[in-house]
Amino acid sequence: MTTSSRDVVIVGGGIVSCLTGYLLGRNGFKVTILEADSVGSHASGFAFGGLDPLTGVGLPEPLLEFSLWCYGRHRTLARELQEQTGIDVGFELRDRLHLAFEDEEVREDKANVDWMRTVGGFNVEWVDREQAMKLEPQVSPECQGALYEQSPGALEPYRFVLAALRAGERYGVEVLQRRATGLISEGARCTGVTLENGKIDAGVVLLAMGPWAGEASAWCGVDIPVTPLKGQIIRLRSETNPLALAVNYKGNYVATKPDGLVWAGTTEEVAGFDENTTSAARDGIMADLLKMIPGMDDAELVQQTACLRPLSTDGLPIVDKVTGWDNLFVSTGGGRKGILWSTGMAHAMFELIQQGQTEVSGAEHLRLDRF
């Protein structure tokens, strides 16, 4: 079978793949997604769904510009996907309280308020305990106060993956439920992908394998420094009032989601590719939840999930052509913010494949050769 340079094979069926596939398909590329399990069945389908461009690794430097680009695109994409597919990804503006209990945490939060206030479009302020409890009466009276962030967003990750996939399918994107096992090449050209049984020809290959991207280092002879970082979330049924906003403390969060359940997380575990839930994680998350919201001690556990974030060595995404190859690309490393960053990662990759360079703000920080 002959392939054209507009035939793109994407290895992996997470959000990065589905969104990139949608953009490519819409612009006339013939796209095939190879997914070993089922689309969205790993981190992309089970993330918390917070979209906060101001906090976390890489912020404010070097990724503030990129994060704001991604956030802005979420706001338009949610509508666009609904028009295309009828699927509501559940995008909403959701205020957040980042609680501070210790003096050092108060100092840190206040310092963050100083730079966050300079970012247009977000209202951020320090609130004392009384104000925090007025905003959300269930937060712990032990806290000293909170960084109050207005208008970051949230969405429902599984619906987001599904909507991106369905939108792509309208433009001919196909999914093959097959595991890729390697690459076929002629010199610096990748001409296809080997499968568990068989092969598929390709004009362009994109590795969007999430935390498994490191495995492709051996396929292409270039180090892709990405490993899995396990995270667990619990979903609870509580008789208390729904939380009015999202509440955070250090790396932990809790919110009442549109399904009516209270979602709380999370863990950061180096556990290889193990995706099993553990009772130790459940107890740890529950303890952190009760530190934030003490009144939820009678909440009933409904579900516990575990999945793997793709974490690069410096915690930032990798979106680039693979060094030394003509037509092999990689997009991974979203870490704890891969749902937020997926819009920018997908758009940057689409532009790299289509025109060899990208205009997405801040995407110059995502190059593979920085390692």
Ligand X SMILES: Cc1cc2nc3c(=O)[nH]c(=O)nc-3n(C[C@H](O)[C@H](O)[C@H](O)COP(=O)(O)OP(=O)(O)OC[C@H]3O[C@@H](n4cnc5c(N)ncnc54)[C@H](O)[C@@H]3O)c2cc1C
Cβ-in-10-Å burial (0-12, 13-18, 19+) of 141 comes to exposed
Q: Is the dihedral of CA 56, 60, 63, 68 positive or negative?
A: positive
- 153, 231, 344, 362: residue in contact with ligand X (rule CB under 6 A): 231
- 180, 243, 293, 319: residue in contact with ligand X (rule CB under 6 A): 180
Contacts of 49 (CB under 8 A, 6+ apart): 90, 154, 155, 156, 157, 160, 257, 339
- 85, 138, 332, 343: residue in contact with ligand X (rule CB under 6 A): 332
307 lies in the site for ligand X, by CB under 6 A: yes
In the complex, the smallest distance separating the C-beta of residue 73 from ligand X, rounded to whole angstroms, is 13
- 71, 171, 212, 329: residue in contact with ligand X (rule CB under 6 A): 212
- 30, 129, 179, 282: residue in contact with ligand X (rule CB under 6 A): 179
Task: Decide if 107 contacts 126 (C-beta within 8 A).
Answer: no
Cβ-in-10-Å burial (0-12, 13-18, 19+) of 295 comes to middle
207 lies in the site for ligand X, by CB under 6 A: no
- 257, 336, 358, 366: residue in contact with ligand X (rule CB under 6 A): 336
Q: Give the whole-angstrom CA distance, residue 316 versus residue 56.
A: 11
- 209, 346, 352, 366: residue in contact with ligand X (rule CB under 6 A): 209
Contacts of 76 (CB under 8 A, 6+ apart): none
Instruction: Encode 25-42: b = buried (16+ Cβ within 10 Å), e = exposed.
Output: bbeebbbbbbbbeebbbb
In the complex, the smallest distance separating the C-beta of residue 53 from ligand X, rounded to whole angstroms, is 10
335 lies in the site for ligand X, by CB under 6 A: yes
49 lies in the site for ligand X, by CB under 6 A: yes
Smaller CB distance to ligand X: residue 51 or 132? 51
175 lies in the site for ligand X, by CB under 6 A: no
Which parts of this chain interact with ligand X (CB under 6 A)?
Answer: 11-17, 34-37, 41-44, 47-50, 179-180, 208-212, 231, 233, 265-266, 307, 309-310, 332, 334-340
